[in-house]
Amino acid sequence: MACLFGARLARLGGTVTLVGTWPEALQIIARDGIEVEEGDRRWRAVPAVERLGGALGPADLVLVLVKSHRTAAIAPRASAARGPAGRVLTLQNGLGNAEVLAAAAGPLHVDAGVTTAAAALLGPGRVRVSGLGRTHLAPSPGASWIAALLEGAGFPIEIAGDLRVVIWRKLAANCAINALSALRGVPNGALLESPVDRARLEGAAREVGAVAGAQGISLGADAAEIAVGVARATAWNPSSMLQDLERGAATEVDAINGAVVREGRRAGVPTPINEALWREVLAREARRPSEAPA
């Protein structure tokens, strides 16, 4: 996702710097830029690159797209990279990322959003876009100019009245699709072809809807229908969790299914399907050969 946003923002001009820890990717992007496959088009953009730990900022916008389990580690660096009037924006999956960033940068300087853009990393500096979807931003002092910036880069943007609804709707889809597709080793749409997989997908989504409802958040539709719709719309896309397992990286299952299990326990709502998926992915992670760079 960072390659997609970085490439599109770099085409606008100005200074865009991608920060990471994968030496091969940083070298290739610095030399050749990012190659983007989008439908039947291929295009390239050349942002600057910097290894995490290098000199960063001051930046008008620090866009955080790391995996959720890395948020606490990079939060101080994201805060330090922000210019005096700069903003820190998270478009990450799962729960709790904005709060972690706000603890480091201050809540008045952090913006939260949710994106339904879908992309697959094909290799160092290469990304295939399945769709740009829509990116929702929470109302804030910086939301208007951030929206204008991202719209200029081609992302459909909406400022949400209540971002919690958008977060939990995406969480319903992520909990239902990501872990199951990773465990089954199939793209999203294939989960709808098996009655057993589809039943598990719908059950996981409905548990998310029940936990959200216990917190007074209405998803506005049946959570299972939301998840099925996303699986259909992204049928050929391998979920990010599947991509993580395939490259030997830690997944975001703890901030997705695990977060729903924890919220369910606090609310007294049972979440047995999400708990089973959470534990199964963690067990699969424990067998991975190595930690892939970010």
Q: Which residues are catalytic?
A: 170
What is the torsional sign of CA 70, 75, 76, 77?
positive
* Count of C-beta atoms within a 10 Å radius of residue 173: 25
Contacts of 217 by beta carbon, 8 Å cutoff, 6+ apart: 164, 165, 168
- Chain position carrying tokens 């290894």: 51
Report CA Rg, the chain: 18
**Alpha carbon distance 18, 2 (integer Å):** 8
Distance CA 44, CA 79 (A): 29
Residues β-bridged to residue 135: 115, 157
- The closest of 232, 195, 224, 197 to 208, measured between CA atoms, is 224
Cβ atoms within 10 Å of 28's Cβ, excluding its own: 18
* Residue 49 Ramachandran class (φ > 0 left, ψ -120 to 50 alpha, else beta): beta
Contact between residue 47 and residue 29 where contact means Cβ atoms under 8 Å apart: yes
Q: Which residues pair with 120 in a beta bridge?
A: 128
Find residue 136's DSSP bridge partners: 114, 158
Q: Burial level of 276, CB count in 10 A (0-12/13-18/19+)?
A: middle
